[in-house]
């Protein structure tokens, strides 16, 4: 009797071992389903389909194996079909939660190759998987300076949330720059999101819901959104060759050899209307500009000041100095490229000059009374969010 039990135990152990080996090596051969009201998977069809909507989001092939609480889901060669009602990469809410947690914890769970050998998931793998199903773009408000803020913040906010940022080929930034994040992705299951105030950093944008793709609908005028990836932002603003060539050609014409160039941007015309002044927009005074010029004369070697302005007559009338050069009026792209190619910067008001200075790098002096203190606009700007801390404010 005891012997029979002994052999029966050995028989059960062998059967269990065989079943385990079959499951380890032959999972892809099985047809299975889980959470069948939401998602079915069949290896023969090689597709993931949401039964409720059958709505495509992005169809692409991913050669990975995911593990969800010890339950493997083979996506090898699978076409992903996404739902409008669930999160963009709808592999069921449980898989969504697992991928999200993997991204946040940097390294969790395992992936398996086709031989069933488990490997630790790396940050790069989980990030790549997540980014292939989560997208973010911008609506495109305002003119060049505003749109540059929006795009830079898009890169920063997408990076914080693990999303893939993009702008379409029709976006006006592509008229001036060769934006590497250009794509014509068709987003579904998308939501728009705004901001509290244009000139204040919103921390809630650091942790957006992963259930949607996002369109940023605001101005996002804060260096804090993209400071952590500033090198990537700078490399993404690739001027089209004609703008770079024009800027370099002009700087060569005015003979800047052995001189330190300081770009000076003076914006007056649209800021000087009664409506804009009442709201808190301001124009820099000539006294401020002269003080900024004096600062650079004392702090850099052999400076030359390259003035770009929308009011050239005013600038020529009030700024006369042997070291000041008034440029010819160019297009928005040409003037931006010129400012970006200078060593240092003096700016008056507005986002256009801000970006000329940011791209140039070096020392930056800005007009401290923008927005006008106590004005409607001033209450919507946090100057420590708008102006980088190493920039120098003067009046």
| Model confidence pLDDT, tens digit, residues 230-252 | 999 999 999 999 999 999 888 88
Question: Domain holding 318: CATH number?
Answer: 3.40.50.2000
Identify the DSSP state of 252.
Answer: H
Please give the residue that has the higher pLDDT: either 212 or 8: 212
Q: How many whole angstroms separate alpha carbon 157 and alpha carbon 155? A: 6
What is the reported pLDDT for 269? 92
Does residue 263 share a domain with residue 219? no
pLDDT interval class at 334 (50, 70, 90)? very high
> Is 60 exceeded by the pLDDT of residue 61?
no
Query: Which 3 state secondary structure label does DSSP give 362?
Result: coil
Tokens representing 317 are 């009338």
For 15, the enclosing helix (H) or strand (E) is: helix 2-26
The answer to whether residue 7 is domain-embedded is: no
Residues 253, 355 share a domain: yes
Pair 283, 378 in one domain: yes
Is the four-CA dihedral 55, 58, 61, 67 of positive or negative sign? negative
Residue 67 shares a structural domain with residue 104: yes
Task: Give the end of a domain, one of 98, 130, 162.
Answer: 130
- Outline where 106-238 has alpha helix (H): 123-131, 144-161, 230-236
Tokens standing for residue 189 = 């299951």
Q: How many domains does the chain have?
A: 3
DSSP 199: B
Domain co-membership, 69 together with 177 = no
Task: Note whether 294 and 375 are same-domain residues.
Answer: yes
Regarding beta strands 260-266 and 344-347, do their DSSP bridges make them parallel or antiparallel, or are they unpaired?
parallel
Question: Does residue 4 sit within a domain?
Answer: no
pLDDT at 10 over 60: yes
Give the per-residue pLDDT at 140.
83
- Residue 325 in contact with residue 252, Cβ under 8 Å? no
Both structure tokens of 127? 């990030």
Class of residue 127 by CB neighbours under 10 A (exposed 0-12, middle 13-18, buried 19+): middle
Does 257 share its domain with 373?
yes
Tell me: do 203 and 313 sit in the same domain. Answer: no
Domain boundary among the residues 110, 130, 150 is at 130
Q: Determine the angle formed by the axes of helices 144-161 and 351-360, rounding to 10 degrees.
A: 60
- For residue 3, tell me if it sits in a domain: no
DSSP label of 183: -
Maximum distance among all Cα pairs of the chain, rounded to whole angstroms:
114
Residue 239 in domain = no
Q: Are 163 and 210 in contact (CB under 8 A)?
A: no
Domain around 271: 244-394
Q: Write b or e for each residue in 63-91: b if 16 or more Cβ atoms lie within 10 A of its Cβ, otherwise e.
A: ebbbbbeeebbbbeebbbbbbbebbbbbb
pLDDT in tens, 114-153: 223 333 332 323 478 888 899 999 998 899 999 999 999 9
Per-residue DSSP letter, 260 = E
The answer to whether residues 266 and 387 belong to one domain is: yes
The reported pLDDT for the residue numbered 221 is 97
Within-domain flag for 16? no
pLDDT score for 325:
95
Which tokens hold the place of 302?
């052999």
Average pLDDT over residues 325-330: 90
Q: What pTM value is reported for the model?
A: 0.70
Edge-to-edge strand ranges of the sheet holding 364-367: 324-326, 303-309, 260-266, 344-347, 364-367, 392-394
Q: Which of 10-14, 182-186, 249-253, 388-392 has the lowest mean pLDDT?
A: 10-14
Q: Which of 234, 255, 281 is the last residue of a domain?
A: 234
- Is the residue at 15 inside a domain? no
Secondary structure of residue 34 in the 3-state scheme: coil
Q: Which of 6, 360, 336 is nearest to 327 (CA)?
A: 336
Do 380 and 258 belong together in one domain? yes
Confidence label for 267 from pLDDT (cuts 50, 70 and 90): very high
Residue 13 maps to a domain: no
- Same domain? For 153 and 211 the reply is yes
Do 149 and 273 lie in a common domain?
A: no
What are the structure tokens assigned to 80, written together? 């992903």
Residue 360: both structure tokens together: 């140039």
- The answer to whether position 6 is within a domain reads no
């Amino acid at each position: 009797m005891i012997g029979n039990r002994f052999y029966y135990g050995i028989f059960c152990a062998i059967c269990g071992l065989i079943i385990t080996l079959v499951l380890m090596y032959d999972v892809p051969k099985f047809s299975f389903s889980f959470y069948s009201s939401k998602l079915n998977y069949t290896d023969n069809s090689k597709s993931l389909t949401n039964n409720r909507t059958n709505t495509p989001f992005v169809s692409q092939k991913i050669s990975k194996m995911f593990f969800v609480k010890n339950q493997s889901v083979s996506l090898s060669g699978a076409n992903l079909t996404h739902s409008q009602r669930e999160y963009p990469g709808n592999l069921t809410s449980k898989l969504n939660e697992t991928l999200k947690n993997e991204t946040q914890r940097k390294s969790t769970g395992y992936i398996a190759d086709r031989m069933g050998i488990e490997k630790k998931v790396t940050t790069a793998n989980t990030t790549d998987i997540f980014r292939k199903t989560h997208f973010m773009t911008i609506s495109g408000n305002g003119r060049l300076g505003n749109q540059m803020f929006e795009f830079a913040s898009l890169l920063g906010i997408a990076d914080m949330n693990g999303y893939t940022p993009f702008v379409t080929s029709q976006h006006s930034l592509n008229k001036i720059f060769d934006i590497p994040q250009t794509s014509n992705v068709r987003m579904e299951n998308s939501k728009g999101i705004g901001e509290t105030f244009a000139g204040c950093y919103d921390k809630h944008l650091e942790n957006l819901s992963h259930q949607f793709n996002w369109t940023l609908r605001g101005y996002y005028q804060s260096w804090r959104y993209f400071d952590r990836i500033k090198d990537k932002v700078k490399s993404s603003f690739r001027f089209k060759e004609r703008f770079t060539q024009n800027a370099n050609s002009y700087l060569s014409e005015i003979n800047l050899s052995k001189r330190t160039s300081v770009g000076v941007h003076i914006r007056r015309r649209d800021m000087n209307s009664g409506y804009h002044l009442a709201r808190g927009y301001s124009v820099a005074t000539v006294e401020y500009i002269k003080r900024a010029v004096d600062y650079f004369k004392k702090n850099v070697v052999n400076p030359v000041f390259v003035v770009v302005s929308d009011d050239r007559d005013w600038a020529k009338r009030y700024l006369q100095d042997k070291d000041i050069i008034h440029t010819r009026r160019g297009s928005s792209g040409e003037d931006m490229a010129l400012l970006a190619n200078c060593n240092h910067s003096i700016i008056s008001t507005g986002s256009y000059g801000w970006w000329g200075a940011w791209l140039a790098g070096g020392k930056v002096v800005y007009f401290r009374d923008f927005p006008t203190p106590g004005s409607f606009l001033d209450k919507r700007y946090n100057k420590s969010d708008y102006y980088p801390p190493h920039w120098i404010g003067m009046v």
